[in-house]
Chain A
Amino acid sequence: MNAIFFGILTIFSLFVFMNLGKIKASKKQMDRDDRINWGSKRKPNFQQNRDGSKIIEGRAEEVNDGNQK
């Protein structure tokens, strides 16, 4: 009886895992602001000088003295 009950529980649970696992999580789960950010501790924002460097994303433009007032 013990083996039958837990055997059925095992098979049913594996069936649930195989089917439910392939379905996307609900919007309630996915559309949250406080989700875990697995990529980084802080959200990377490369527009800011987070490391104090003067690196600016984009194409470089030549600056000559004639442009300055």
Chain B
Amino acid sequence: MSKHSALNTFGRSGNPAFTKNFDNAQTFSQTERMTLDGAVNKTAILLALCFAGAFAGWNVPALAMPGLIIGTILAFVTIFRSPAKAGSTAPFYAAFEGMALGGITVFAEMQYPGIGIQAIGLTFGILASLLFCYKSGLIKPTENFRLMIFSATMGIALLYLVSFIMSFFGSGIGFIHSNGLFGIGFSIFVVGIAALNLVLDFDFIEEGAEKGLPKYMEWYGAFSLMVTLVWLYIEILRLLMKLRSR
């Protein structure tokens, strides 16, 4: 590693959270390093907090909107401002996002009873099956794979943003929310992209543990997995609602 800061920052990835830490791995002692065990345990803690938040949101649906807003702010803070402090922001993110999911699920359940447990089962089913595919080497993420998933994710985010802005003017992109074949096809595509983002998260955690990143990156890896799981759950819920409304 060069001692020159200009060289250290030269030619790095666009993601500020990942790049700063991967190349400083050797400066940490063995006990301060990221491990697979640690990342999985921290994901379990975040999931438990998310379920606790969801319980609160389920019983008090009015918590859904504040939970969504605060959770989104915390997500942006964790990604862009303080990945090293993910240990303190990620648990709050999980709890607030859980509140939002609990409230959203109540509304979905009122319309289509039993839809919540279906969405939860499918989300974790996809998580487990993709983890198996990744660990066994059936799915091999490459740079092209990452580029493809990143582009598709950004495209979807842009489409949602445009639709959100258009909704203020009484308009919108109709097919996104429709329950027609095109709308369902779009939802299946989004679920697929959200699911493949999990593979990128697995690869990030695996390589982080292999390279011996600092311990706090366990929290960051768990946080990134949580963000993807939350997105996947919402998209599966939307897909199931479209299917049930036909």
A19-42 near B? 1/0 per residue, CB < 8 Å: 011111111111010111111111
User: Known: A39-B23, A51-B6. Contact between A21 and B121, CB under 8 A?
Assistant: no
Contacts of B129 in A (CB 8 A): 13
Determine if B193 is an interface residue (Cβ-Cβ < 8 Å).
no
- Interface residue SS majority, chain B: helix
Kindly identify which residue among A23, A51, A53, A57 contacts B36, using a CB–CB cutoff of 8 Å. Answer: A23
Q: Is the CB of A41 within 8 A of B128?
A: no
- Assembled-state Cα–Cα distance A28/B139 (Å): 10
- Assembled-state Cα–Cα distance A41/B147 (Å): 11
Q: How many chain A residues touch the partner (CB < 8 A)?
A: 41
Q: Is the CB of A2 within 8 A of B13?
A: no
B36-56 near A? 1/0 per residue, CB < 8 Å: 110110011001000000000
Contacts of A37 in B (CB 8 A): 143
Contacts of B18 in A (CB 8 A): 38-39
Q: Is the CB of A36 within 8 A of B10?
A: no
Which residues of B (72-120) have their CB < 8 Å from a CB of A?
Answer: 114, 117-118, 120
User: How far apart are B127's CB and chain A's nearest CB, in angstroms?
Assistant: 6
Number of A-B contacts defined by CB within 8 Å: 139
Contacts of B118 in A (CB 8 A): 2, 6
Contacts of B136 in A (CB 8 A): 26, 28-29
**Residue in A closest to B15 when the chains form the complex, CB atoms:** A38
Stretch in B166-174, B182-190, B202-210 touching the partner: B202-210
Determine if A55 is an interface residue (Cβ-Cβ < 8 Å).
yes
**Residue in A closest to B113 when the chains form the complex, CB atoms:** A2
- Assembled-state Cα–Cα distance A42/B135 (Å): 25
- Assembled-state Cα–Cα distance A17/B117 (Å): 18
Kindly identify which residue among A3, A21, A44 contacts B114, using a CB–CB cutoff of 8 Å. Answer: A3
Kindly identify which residue among A13, A22, A25, A40 contacts B12, using a CB–CB cutoff of 8 Å. Answer: A40
Which residues of A (47-69) have their CB < 8 Å from a CB of B?
Answer: 50-51, 53, 55, 57
- Assembled-state Cα–Cα distance A26/B125 (Å): 21
**Residue in B closest to A5 when the chains form the complex, CB atoms:** B121
Q: Is the CB of A30 within 8 A of B210?
A: yes
Sort A-B residue pairs by CB-CB distance and give the 8 closest, nearest first. Answer: A6-B121, A28-B137, A39-B22, A13-B124, A13-B128, A21-B40, A29-B137, A16-B128
Contact surface of B with A, Cβ cutoff 8 Å: 1-2, 4, 6-7, 10-14, 18-19, 22-23, 36-37, 39-40, 43-44, 47, 114, 117-118, 120-122, 124-125, 127-129, 131-132, 134-137, 140-143, 145-146, 200, 203-204, 206-208, 210-211
